[in-house]
């Protein structure tokens, strides 16, 4: 899924249907009533006087917690919604544009999640619009089968706050029903932080930039989201930035991919890569995925039981070098630079139905290329909405 409940920008929803068990919450949209821009305009038009005009002088940070289920799957943190505030946990998802939390109407279907009581909030608005969201991937190694990852949501608005950022009235989706696949999630919902989320930051009085640190379970599992700046104590050296390309998603142009120091002609073609903090592994078009796997080991092969996934005998994983370097252009005044995925990320763990076979980190997508947490957790990342660029530095843990 673009995660436990995440909305992809509508521009890519049509292609986000490849089954990829570790790419938490890539989804498709069933019946969204209007475009993101139209929905934002409607809320701004009716509540503009409530938005903050106070410019903050300092950034603010929120701890992130690792959901570990055999492998590092997802990091999530706290928010509040409503007046008086009700507490929720969400994944902060750079691959989506909206906030989604369960409502009390979800009842037993959301028994393991906190549920928003709209009648207890004095600032709640119900737009009387219902949508169905069907996800193309889920959490963990289990494949998506038909519509077994699905949400029913109402379009609403209310106050909400994360760290020191407070929105007097903003639109979000209230989950009224969900399939049982969502129940094990330790978090309640999703807050989208797409490149188009500048209104969120300006309404809260912060510059349009945020920093993200994802600490693996083996290193303690505690990450951080910083709103309105970056936390310079959490990374080493200077941030190297690459410019955003296209619109809708956080996307950078790759100038080449290298595997164990070598490359192939197909990997030297310019590729646009989506950077998604709501996805655990990587998704590439089949030709790219197979070119990378071919340079690692001939023993990596498709798992026909779970279309779109690949695997290798678990007892071979430790014998394989699998360092992947991806080259990106720097901004003006900065040279090109590499981001590295180490060999430790090759295996996502055993398949449930074939425990002798370990799932490898790249799944096949249908027409797009995406980088998730298997890369991001090795770097501190700065997501600069105001200047439309992403920066990276080695993390300091």
Separation of alpha carbons 210 and 227, rounded Å: 5
- pLDDT per residue, tens digit, the chain (397 aa), is 333 232 222 222 222 222 222 233 333 223 334 444 444 434 433 333 334 446 677 899 999 999 887 778 789 999 999 999 999 999 998 988 889 899 999 999 999 999 999 999 999 999 999 998 776 555 654 555 668 778 899 999 999 999 889 999 999 999 999 989 888 889 999 899 999 999 999 999 999 999 999 998 888 888 999 999 999 999 999 999 999 998 889 999 999 999 999 999 999 988 999 999 988 888 899 999 999 999 999 999 999 988 889 999 999 999 999 999 999 999 999 999 999 999 999 998 998 889 999 999 999 887 889 899 999 999 999 999 999 999 999 998 7
Separation of alpha carbons 46 and 180, rounded Å: 36
Q: Is 232-394 a domain of CATH 3.20.20.70?
A: no
Which entry of 93, 154, 188, 384 is annotated as an active-site residue?
93
Domain ranges of the chain: 10-227, 232-394
Active site residue 93: yes
Please name the helix (run of DSSP H) or strand (run of DSSP E) that holds residue 47, with its range, or none.
Answer: helix 36-47
Which entry of 72, 188, 276, 384 is annotated as an active-site residue?
276
Q: What is the pLDDT of residue 138?
A: 59
Q: Which residue has the tokens 């969400």?
A: 90
Contacts of 209 (CB under 8 A, 6+ apart): 201, 228, 229, 230, 382, 383, 384, 385, 386, 387
| The CATH number, out of the four listed (2.40.70.10, 1.10.760.10, 3.30.457.10, 3.40.50.970), of the domain defined by the range 10-227 | 2.40.70.10
Tokens (6 digits) for 264:
């192939």
Tokens (6 digits) for 259:
């595997």
Residue 264, CA distances (Å) to 58, 256, 259, 339 in order:
46, 9, 9, 18
Which DSSP string do the residues of 261-302 spell out, in sequence order? TB--GGGGS-EEEEE-TT-SSEEE-HHHHHHHHHHH-TT-EE
Fold agreement (10-227, 232-394):
yes
Active site residue 276: yes
């Amino acid at each position: 899924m673009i995660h436990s409940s995440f909305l992809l920008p509508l521009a890519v929803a049509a292609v986000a249907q490849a089954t990829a068990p570790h790419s938490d919450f890539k989804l498709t949209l069933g019946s969204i009533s209007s475009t993101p821009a139209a929905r934002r305009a409607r809320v701004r038009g009716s509540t503009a006087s409530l938005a903050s005009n106070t410019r903050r002088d300092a950034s603010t940070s929120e701890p992130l917690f690792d959901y570990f289920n055999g492998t590092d799957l997802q990091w999530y943190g706290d928010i509040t919604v409503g007046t008086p505030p009700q507490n929720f946990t969400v994944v902060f998802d750079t691959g989506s544009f909206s906030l989604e939390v369960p409502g009390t109407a979800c009842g037993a279907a959301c028994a393991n999640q906190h549920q928003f009581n709209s009648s207890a909030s004095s600032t709640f608005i119900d737009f009387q619009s219902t949508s169905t969201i069907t996800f193309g991937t889920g959490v963990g190694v289990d494949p998506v089968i038909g519509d077994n990852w699905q949400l029913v949501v109402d379009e609403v608005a209310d106050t909400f706050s994360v760290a020191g950022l407070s929105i007097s009235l903003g639109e979000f989706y209230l989950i009224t029903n969900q399939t049982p696949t969502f129940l094990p999630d330790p978090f309640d919902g999703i807050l989208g932080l797409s490149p188009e989320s500048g209104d969120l930051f300006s309404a809260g009085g912060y510059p349009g930039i945020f920093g993200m640190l994802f600490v693996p379970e083996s290193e303690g599992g505690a990450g951080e989201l910083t709103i309105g700046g970056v936390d310079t104590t959490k990374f080493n050296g200077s941030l190297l930035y690459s410019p955003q390309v296209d619109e809708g998603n956080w996307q950078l142009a790759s100038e080449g991919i290298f595997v164990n120091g070598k490359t192939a002609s197909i990997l030297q073609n310019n590729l646009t890569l989506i950077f998604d903090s709501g996805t655990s592994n990587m998704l590439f078009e089949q030709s790219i995925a197979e070119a990378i796997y071919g340079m690692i080991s001939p023993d990596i092969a498709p798992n026909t039981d779970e279309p779109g996934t690949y695997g290798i005998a678990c007892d071979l994983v430790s014998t394989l070098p699998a360092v992947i370097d991806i080259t990106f252009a720097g901004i003006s005044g900065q040279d090109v630079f590499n981001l590295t995925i180490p060999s430790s990320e090759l295996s996502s763990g055993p398949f449930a139905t074939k425990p002798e076979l370990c799932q490898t980190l790249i799944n096949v997508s249908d027409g797009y290329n995406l980088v998730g947490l298997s890369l991001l957790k090795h770097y501190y990342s700065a997501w600069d909405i105001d200047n439309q660029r992403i920066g990276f530095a080695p993390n300091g843990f």
